[in-house]
DNA sequence: TACTTGGCTTCCGTTCAGTGGAAGGGGTGG
DNA sequence: CCACCCCTTCCACTGAACGGAAGCCAAGTA
């Protein structure tokens, strides 16, 4: 329980997440599990360095310096760089929200994202994590994931919308079809009004998934799948040649 | 001189920059100005939390968790969000590398960037800072910057390529033309083989600059400027309606 | 105007976590 | 085999971090 200064400072930073981008001193202290005075002092130091900033409202937010630092992280930077132009092509061809994601443990981690003008209700953002079983990219990644991951995911198929697949047998069947068909689809399983298609990406082995989100899939699924596969192949080729 | 633990830990993080994305223990210690043993222990804690990660090579890099955190920083997030679709449109129309930048003191800060397949030699990345006088977006931002910033910049017009403008009178003349014409251009002033066009962005007052980089400007400057202005107006309108 | 409430800031004596020199381990190359 | 460099671990000393308490300030209430 006795926490080191460093870990306490990090806990302060860890108090921020996608739902809590700005916090007051007392919220920060509470979320970090620190006495007010201690949090106050730590925040002061973090702020001085630029890790935190303070809004006019008095709330604290992540500072620009951490933004800078974060961009230096090699989080799939090779993949992102290789994929970038193809994501734009894909957006150009479909005008849909485009996602590039990898599997991080038992979750989908969105590493790049490209939103169009008219956006269907999409919950993902770059850096956000979502369950593997309820998203298009997630199903693709799950279909090619090691056995233990799949087993783990199957134990808790949490329901998100009325259409979320929570029955292990149904999901297993879908994953089988993903492997034979080469693409995965979802229909309002993550958020109502949003359907998705996704395909695997990789030179040898699946390293990522590429997906798009559209309001409706019935109309031109074939065209979308084709566009996705062209982009995925392009990314795969770029990745392979980069080595 | 006596540094707090927190500031030391932050100094370790601060040892990373665009030129040093991965560092060995001893490099880190040296750059952070810490004894090896101390750095070692701090790094251990940072690593445990996920702020740092270790490559197979033994070098340390910024960890995924800091990447997550950095994305939460409100660095022009309103602007980026509003601009995002228009950047894609612009890319679609021009197939050139697209930049969205703001002025940060006496430098250009690139807040978004979108690279195409064939990339001219472009040095900018998201998060990078470049001089105001040698880039297209920089000239736009400079043209609408307060007097004191302009004065400051004019005192050191460092030469980067043989074509960089280092003569204050010439730059002043160009900025005047930017204000009358509504766009700025550069020709290999930042890196050889790269020309750029940029226009101001903003509902009232210039809040950012939008630019593209192309290998050659002589051919269809007029078309590119038109495309830029359409996008810039779109962003401006989105920003205005968001308030 | 006086009182309460709630969040923020400062103070300071105690104490325990952080310190860093030194010694040990492991790989490379001469 | 030794020399060199880099990483890791140890541990006795000490000064930096701690946090309860008191003081502030602003907004709401009587």
What are the residue ranges of helices labelled H in A95-220?
136-143, 147-155, 168-181
In Å, how far is A22's CA from the nearest CA of chain B? 9
> Per residue in B62-112, pLDDT tens?
999 999 999 999 888 889 988 988 998 999 898 889 999 999 999 999 999
In the block, residue with structure tokens 């009232």: B204
Nearest-by-CA chain A residue for B19:
A72
Whether residue B43 contacts residue B29, with contact meaning beta carbons closer than 8 Å, is answered with no
Helical spans, DSSP H, in A99-220: 136-143, 147-155, 168-181
The beta strands (E) that lie in B105-193 are given as 107-114, 129-131, 184-187
Within an 8 Å CB–CB cutoff, is residue A149 touching chain B? no
Helix axes B168-181, B136-143, angle to 10 degrees: 80
Q: Residue B132's closest CA among B91, B90, B171?
A: B171
Chain B contact set for A114 (CB, 8 A): 84, 88
In angstroms, the CA B38 to CA A241 distance is 42
Residue A5: nearest nucleotide (C-alpha to C1'): D17
Percent of chain A that is helix, strand, coil (3-state, to 5)? 45, 20, 35
Q: Do A74 and B22 touch (CB under 8 A)?
A: yes
**ipTM score:** 0.86
Average pLDDT of B134-157?
94
Task: Say if residue B177's pLDDT is above 90.
Answer: yes
CB atoms within 10 A of CB B56: 5
Q: Looking at residue B1, what is its pLDDT?
A: 43
Residue B184: beta bridge partners? Answer: B198
Report pLDDT digits (tens) over A21-33.
Answer: 999 999 889 999 8
From chain A, pick out residues whose CB is under 8 angstroms from the CB of B17: 72
Sites in chain A below the pLDDT cut of 50: 1-2
Give chain A's radius of gyration (CA, Å): 20
Q: Which of residues 21-50 of A touch strand C (CB under 7 A)?
A: 24-26, 36-37, 40-41
State the pLDDT confidence band at B243, using cuts at 50, 70 and 90.
Answer: low
Residues A137/A139/A140/A141 CA torsion (nearest 10 deg): 90
| d(C-alpha A134, C-alpha A217), whole Å | 16
B32 CA – D17 C1', rounded, Å: 21
CATH architecture of the domain with residue range B5-71: Orthogonal Bundle (1.10)
Domain with CATH 1.10.10.10 in chain B: 5-71
Given this model, what pLDDT does residue A1 score?
42
Nearest to B61 by CA among A2, A226, A57, A78: A78
Highest mean pLDDT among A122-136, A203-217, B19-33, B126-140: B126-140
Q: What is the pLDDT of residue A119?
A: 64
Model pLDDT, residue A181: 95
* Pairs from B21-25 (Cβ < 8 Å, separation ≥ 24): B21/A72, B21/A74, B21/B61, B21/B62, B22/A74, B22/B55, B22/B57, B22/B59, B22/B60, B22/B61, B23/B59, B23/B60, B23/B61, B24/B58, B24/B59, B24/B60, B25/B58, B25/B60
Contact residues, B window 34-73, toward A, CB-based 8 Å cutoff = 42, 45-46, 48-49, 51, 61-73
CA of A113 to C1' of D13 (A): 53
| A31 phi, psi to nearest 5 deg | -65, -30
Interface of A with B in 89-108 (CB under 8 A): 91-92, 104
Q: What is the pLDDT of residues B201-228, one digit of tens each?
A: 988 789 999 999 999 888 889 999 999 9
Segments of chain B assigned to CATH 3.30.450.40? 77-242
From 3.40.50.12780, 3.40.190.10, 3.30.450.40, 3.40.50.300, which CATH number describes the B77-242 domain? 3.30.450.40
Compute the distance between CA of residue B174 and CA of residue B158 in angstroms, rounded to an integer. Answer: 17
CA distances from A115 to A102, A112, A217, B201 (A): 18, 10, 18, 20
Sheet of B22-23, strand order? B22-23, B60-62, B52-54
pLDDT of residue B228: 96
Sheet holding B195-201, edge to edge: B129-131, B107-114, B97-104, B208-214, B195-201, B184-187
Q: A2-6, B19-23, B151-155: which range is least confident on average? A: A2-6
């Amino acid at each position: 329980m006795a926490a080191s200064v460093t870990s306490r400072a990090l806990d302060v930073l860890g108090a921020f997440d996608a739902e809590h981008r700005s916090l007051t001193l007392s919220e920060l202290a509470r979320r970090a599990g620190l006495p007010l005075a201690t949090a106050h002092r730590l925040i002061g130091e973090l702020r001085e360095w630029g890790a935190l900033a303070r809004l006019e409202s008095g709330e604290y937010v992540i500072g620009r310096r951490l933004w800078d630092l974060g961009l230096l992280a090699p989080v799939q930077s090779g993949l992102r760089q290789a994929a970038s132009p193809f994501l734009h092509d894909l957006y150009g061809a479909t005008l849909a929200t485009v996602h590039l994601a990898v599997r991080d443990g038992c979750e989908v981690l969105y590493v790049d994202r490209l939103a169009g003008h008219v956006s269907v209700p999409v919950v993902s953002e770059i850096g956000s994590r979502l369950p593997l079983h309820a998203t298009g990219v997630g199903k693709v990644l799950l279909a090619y994931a090691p056995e233990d991951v799949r087993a783990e995911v199957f134990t808790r198929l949490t329901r998100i919308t009325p259409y979320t697949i929570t029955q292990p047998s149904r999901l297993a069947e879908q994953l089988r079809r993903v492997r034979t068909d080469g693409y995965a689809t979802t229909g309002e399983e993550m958020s109502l009004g949003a359907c998705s298609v996704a395909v695997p990406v990789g030179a040898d082995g699946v390293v990522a998934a590429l997906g798009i989100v559209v309001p409706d899939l019935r109309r031109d699924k074939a065209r979308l799948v084709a566009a996705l596969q062209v982009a995925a192949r392009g990314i795969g080729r770029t990745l392979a040649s980069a080595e």
